[in-house]
Amino acid sequence: MVRIAFFGTPEFAVPTLSALIESPCEVVTVITQPDRPRGRGQRPSASPIKILALRKHIPVLAPEALNDSVFLNQMRALQLELGVVVAYGKLVPDNLLEIPTCGFVNLHASLLPAYRGAAPIQRAVLDGNQVTGVTLIRMDSKLDSGPILAQAQQSIRPTDTASDLASALAHLGASLLRDNLSNIMSGNLVEAPQDNTVVTYAPRLTKNDGRIDWNSDAPTIHNQVRAMHPWPQAFTYLGGIRYAIYRTAVIAHPSKGRPGEILETGGSRLVVAAGGKTTLEILEIQPSGRRVMEIQSFLAGHPVTPGSVFESPTKT
């Protein structure tokens, strides 16, 4: 029975850990990020991976640093054969990579070498891609740069949010690892070096990435709304009030308004002019301090006048 150490933190990693638990392998320990303040109360909360591991009675380690000597000695004592990393959140140093007899593999949520980094799912949606996928790599100490062991593609639908896509890729990745695990252990997979001439990066999102610039065209804003869900959420301002935008649609007919101008509020529609004479319809919205609303409910309680203009960020 293969002895595995699993490194992961968010919900995205849960399907892979579940698949390993149900496989003939033995997950002898789970390593995750320390409990962090979460939610409005900012109370320390366990990661989804820690919650699953404890429920399955798997020992959990949560070191602040992976090169800590006490932690490394704990890992050496486990007689590990393989390390599996899925969205753990930190680079794995060389002195840890060398401990398992068969090394480490990493499951990354893109078709490497595209979108190396922390936010590959969101960046693929933001860029309007129609296809992405997952990649299984042999790990080295650099960021998502190891040789490719296996890949699987996933289509991106025009309405998919980053949350929708993350769920699909999480399960696709779990299947990819499960189907290739025996070949990883036997060394039967061909390791294909990544083409460093076509590498792209997916840096971590910031809250300000959600700010809508209405000078962008409607398809770009629509992709932004999808990519920023569930965090940081796309947002805009009208009359000094912050509005989170949850769902939109691109309208085919051209706009005659200036970017950000509300063109139509009749019935159950909120139509806004965007850059390049394009038009965007807002379908779900959340005023600051209120719940998320369908547009019909929003308009019933929040009269909005055609000709009003959503604010774009000031150019610096």
SS3 at position 166? helix
- Outline where DSSP puts E strands in 188-258: 234-238, 241-251
Say yes or no: 271 and 161 in one domain: no
Contact yes or no for 239/308 (Cβ under 8 A): yes
Model pLDDT, residue 43 = 85
Model pLDDT, residue 42 = 79
Q: Indicate whether 89 belongs to any domain.
A: yes
Model pLDDT, residue 314 = 81
Give the C-alpha separation, 232 to 218, whole Å. Answer: 19
Say yes or no: 155 and 23 in one domain: yes
Give the C-alpha separation, 134 to 169, whole Å. Answer: 7
Query: Residue 70's domain is classified under what CATH number?
Result: 3.40.50.170
Model pLDDT, residue 316 = 58
Give DSSP secondary structure letters for 172-189.
HHHHHHHHHHHHHHHT-S
Query: Residue 286's domain is classified under what CATH number?
Result: 3.10.25.10
Q: Indicate whether 160 belongs to any domain.
A: yes
Which of 149, 165, 198 lies at the terminal end of a domain, its last residue? 198
| Overall domain count for the chain | 2
Say yes or no: 175 and 233 in one domain: no
Say yes or no: 81 and 214 in one domain: no
Say yes or no: 170 and 223 in one domain: no
Say yes or no: 163 and 211 in one domain: no
Q: Indicate whether 307 belongs to any domain.
A: no
Model pLDDT, residue 150 = 98
Give the C-alpha separation, 222 to 228, whole Å. Answer: 10
Say yes or no: 87 and 131 in one domain: yes
Model pLDDT, residue 14 = 99
Low-confidence ranges of the chain (pLDDT < 70): 316
Q: Within 10 Å of residue 297's Cβ, how many Cβ atoms?
A: 14
Supply 221's token pair: 């804003």
Q: Indicate whether 312 belongs to any domain.
A: no
Which of 163, 198, 233 lies at the terminal end of a domain, its last residue? 198
Ramachandran quadrant class, 315 (left: phi over 0; alpha: psi -120 to 50; beta: rest): beta
Say yes or no: 126 and 215 in one domain: no
Q: Indicate whether 311 belongs to any domain.
A: no
Which of 180, 198, 216 lies at the terminal end of a domain, its last residue? 198
Model pLDDT, residue 267 = 76
CA nearest to 122, candidates 147, 91, 87:
87
Say yes or no: 156 and 12 in one domain: yes
Say yes or no: 161 and 219 in one domain: no
Say yes or no: 150 and 250 in one domain: no
Q: Indicate whether 109 belongs to any domain.
A: yes
CA nearest to 90, candidates 20, 167, 9, 27:
9
Residue-number span of the structural domain to which 53 is assigned:
3-198
Beta bridge partners of 135: 108, 151
Model pLDDT, residue 81 = 98
Looking up tokens 């990066």 gives 201
The pTM score is 0.95
SS3 at position 45? strand
CA nearest to 84, candidates 191, 196, 176:
176
Q: Indicate whether 308 belongs to any domain.
A: no
CA nearest to 80, candidates 61, 58, 100:
100
Q: Indicate whether 178 belongs to any domain.
A: yes
Supply 294's token pair: 């369908």
Say yes or no: 65 and 190 in one domain: yes
